[in-house]
Structure 1
Amino acid sequence: MQRKKLLIVGGGNLCLQVLQILAPRNQFDFHVASRNLEQATRLCNLVSLGALQLNVSVRIQAWEMDLTESAIERNAETLSRIKPDVILNCASLQSWRVITQLPKATFDALDQAQLGPWLPMHLAPAYALMRAVKQSCPKSLVVNAAFPDAVNAVLYKVGMAPDVGVGNIANLIPATRCAIARLARCEPSRVCVKLIGQHFFSHYVPRHGLPQQANFNLSYWIDGRERTDEFNADVIFRSVADNFRRLGGVDGQYLTAMSVISVLENLFADEEVHVHAPGPHGLPGGYPVKVGMGQVLLGLPYGVRREEAIQVNEAGQRQDGIQSIMADGTVMFGSAQMNVMEQMLGYFVAGMKVQDAAECANELGQKYQAFAHNISQQGVSHVPQQRILTRQFG
């Protein structure tokens, strides 16, 4: 079978980790697109040279791609030249992990805003990319790594949803299997899990165990026999946080990279493979899915209706700071989470239309940079008292 063309958009750390795993296997025709062509070229050369250490000769081509409003036509032309079978979007205007570099007290305070209010940073480039995709290569499969729980759901409303996401709920599965195996006194390989949950849940559990209001659905089997509810869910997820605690931040992206591999390598498999992924076909939150034969399907456990799974994830979405996603793609943010952004950054957006994502991202980015600069200059680690209402929706 002819190799599929894989285009990775965004030349950051996740791109590097994915290529470091995939390149030595040499199963794809590799391409990397980034707004910084020099950096992308050096990244591609690093990975190809590393693969040659294993005597694997792999070619990775670098391209320039700027995911802004003014570059959509140029991006469409680039995509037409590459003709990718699969596109992995890793592009964000500000990575989720940037705020982890703040002093701990400041980070802990700002982290109360959750990820929802930061949506513009991930939505804006994805929106620009999908418009170019729809124009030039609409049959390409798109896998989104940038806050797919929400980005995919928003883009679905305007007919531009990626096919599936990666990370988040998928990152929680290995430790959940290990926790159940520990309780059942068996090997994790004998445990099969199906877990439904939004980013808030998959982010909270590895750090603290079950949240006080936990929105999830868990089913599991041992040696093919269903054992759901045999062990207390609180005990399972406490074990995830305690017995299977792990590195986070940049190092923790290794789990996301492996989630990417599980999807990419099986998308065109001859048989369906069961994995977990957020945002399949624009659904909010994370689900068990089946990938293979060029398609992505829901793989919900028996007895769990699609509507029920969506409701679980929408409840988690509200905890993550996104109150609702309207029929036209307009996002309404949670007031409690946005109030944290207002108090600390002087940034407040009650609601956001899809087409305003780039403008909101620009404002949010400027406000955060000013805030972070002030912290570094003054050593401030408390919540600023200034409250500035910068934008109202309407």
Structure 2
Amino acid sequence: MQRKKLLIVGGGNLCLQILQILAPRNQFEFHVASRHLEQTVKVCNLVRLGALQHGVQTRIHSWEMDLTEARIERNAETLSRIKPDIILNCASLQSWRVISQLPKATFEALDQAQLGPWLPMHLAPAYALMRAIKQSGTRALVVNAAYPDAVNAVLFKVGMAPDVGVGSIANLVPATRCAIALLANCEPAQVRVKLIGQHYFSHGVPRHGLLPNSQFSLCYWIDEREYTGEFCAERIFGLVADDFRRLGGVDGQYLTAMSAISVVENLFAANEVEVHAPGPHGLPGGYPVKVGGGKVLLGLPYGIKREVAIDINEAGQRQDGIDSIRADGTVRFGFEQMTVMERMLEYCMPTMAVRDAAYAAGELGIKYREFTRKICQQGVSDHVPQRPARIRYFG
């Protein structure tokens, strides 16, 4: 049987972790594309040599792909040459974890903006990639790892949604199963979970437990017998943040890598496999899904309607700093979260059209670099600007 072609776009740490796991299995014809071809070649050679240590000979093709407006036609030509079956997008202009490297008090203050206002950094390259995919005519299944809870939902409004995302809600499920198993005095393998929630929820629980006004739905079974409601959610998610606390940052991307692998390895499986994923078919937030046979299907628990699941995730989306996504893809950011961005970074963009994502990302990148430069120049370990906000919202 001919192996499927897997193209990973973005040659950063997440790409490396995914390749390190997948390459020794040698199930795909691998392709990696990024804007830094020389670095990509080195990444691919590192993984090839590592696989050879295990006696596995694999080949990984390297390509140059710069996800900008000016390179869409050239990227489309590259995609036409590769003819991938699966495209996994790992490209972002600034990783979510970058601000965690700030001094502690500064990071905690800026982190109050949540991830929503940083959307342009993830949306801009994804939008450019999806336009190139459309132009190339490829029929590949597209998997997005760049803030899929929101990016996929925005791109859906303009007819360019990836098929599914990875990470986010999927990263919370293993610890949730472990917590339920501990309470039920059984093994995690006996526990099956169906969890619905947006990035704000899945990001917050491992750090703080169940936050006030958390928006989620949790159903679970032990040995296929439903136990939903047997244990209080505060206790379950408290254990996630306590007994099953884990590394975050770069190291924590291992969970996202495993989430990506659970999706891409099973997209063309003969039988459907139950996983969790954000942004299936452009829906906001995260859901239980079924993948297999070249399809992605919602796998909601009995009694939870699609509209209810969407409402839960849209409520979480507002907590994450995205107030709404309009029918034309225009994003309205949350006032409270954008106020933090304006006060600390002097960056203010209450609304953003999809076509303006690259411009917004450029402005945000400039403001963030200026902010970090001031911190370095001042030599202050805990720098938290207190200038009052000037945001005005219209429309």
If the TM-score is normalised by the length of the shorter chain, which range does it land in?
Answer: over 0.9
Letter in 1 for 2:215: N
Letter in 1 for 2:206: P
Letter in 2 for 1:385: Q
Matching of residues 243-258 of structure 1 within 5 Å: 243-258=243-258
Aligned to 1:232: 232
Counterpart contact for 1:14–1:253, Cα < 8 Å: yes
Aligned to 1:274: 274
Aligned to 1:85: 85
Work out the CA distance in 1 between the residues paired with 2:391 and 2:233: 42
Matching of residues 1-394 of structure 1 within 5 Å: 1-380=1-380, 381-386=382-387
Paired residues, what number? 394
Work out the CA distance in 1 between the residues paired with 2:330 and 2:340: 21
How far did residue 317 of structure 1 move? 0.1
Work out the CA distance in 1 between the residues paired with 2:89 and 2:129: 8
Counterpart contact for 1:347–1:391, Cα < 8 Å: no
Instruction: Give per-residue Cα distances to partners, 1:289-323, cap 9 Å, x unaligned.
Output: 00000000000000000000000000000000000
Work out the CA distance in 1 between the residues paired with 2:158 and 2:21: 34
Letter in 2 for 1:170: A
Work out the CA distance in 2 between the residues paired with 1:322 and 1:217: 20
The 1:365/1:389 distance shift into structure 2, 3 A limit, reads farther
Work out the CA distance in 2 between the residues paired with 1:229 and 1:277: 23
Counterpart contact for 1:349–1:393, Cα < 8 Å: no
Counterpart contact for 1:206–1:245, Cα < 8 Å: yes
Counterpart contact for 1:114–1:200, Cα < 8 Å: yes
Work out the CA distance in 2 between the residues paired with 1:392 and 1:30: 47
The 1:355/1:385 distance shift into structure 2, 3 A limit, reads same
For the residue of structure 2 that corresponds to 1:95, the secondary structure is: coil
For the residue of structure 2 that corresponds to 1:96, the secondary structure is: coil
Work out the CA distance in 2 between the residues paired with 1:32 and 1:132: 16
| Unaligned runs of at least 5 residues, structure 2 | none
Work out the CA distance in 2 between the residues paired with 1:263 and 1:393: 41
For the residue of structure 1 that corresponds to 2:97, the secondary structure is: helix
Instruction: Give per-residue Cα distances to partners, 1:101-142, cap 9 Å, x unaligned.
Output: 000100000000000000000000000000000111341100
Work out the CA distance in 2 between the residues paired with 1:253 and 1:376: 28
Instruction: Give runs of ≥4 in structure 1 deviating > 4 Å.
Output: 387-394
Work out the CA distance in 2 between the residues paired with 1:123 and 1:391: 24
Counterpart contact for 2:80–2:138, Cα < 8 Å: no
For the residue of structure 1 that corresponds to 2:123, the secondary structure is: helix
Counterpart contact for 1:347–1:390, Cα < 8 Å: no
Instruction: Give per-residue Cα distances to partners, 1:9-44, cap 9 Å, x unaligned.
Output: 000000000000000000000000000000000000
Letter in 2 for 1:100: S
Work out the CA distance in 2 between the residues paired with 1:176 and 1:182: 10
Counterpart contact for 1:352–1:393, Cα < 8 Å: no
Work out the CA distance in 1 between the residues paired with 2:256 and 2:74: 30
Instruction: Pick which of 304-313 and 376-385 moved more.
Output: 376-385
How far did residue 387 of structure 1 move? 5.1
Q: Calculate percent identity across the aligned residue pairs.
A: 76
Q: Give the TM-score normalised by the residue count of structure 2.
A: 0.98
Work out the CA distance in 1 between the residues paired with 2:137 and 2:250: 32
Counterpart contact for 1:346–1:387, Cα < 8 Å: no
RMSD (CA atoms): 1.2
How far did residue 376 of structure 1 move? 2.1
Letter in 2 for 1:69: E
Work out the CA distance in 2 between the residues paired with 1:69 and 1:183: 52
How far did residue 384 of structure 1 move? 1.4
Q: Give the TM-score normalised by the residue count of structure 1.
A: 0.98
Letter in 1 for 2:384: V
Work out the CA distance in 2 between the residues paired with 1:347 and 1:208: 28
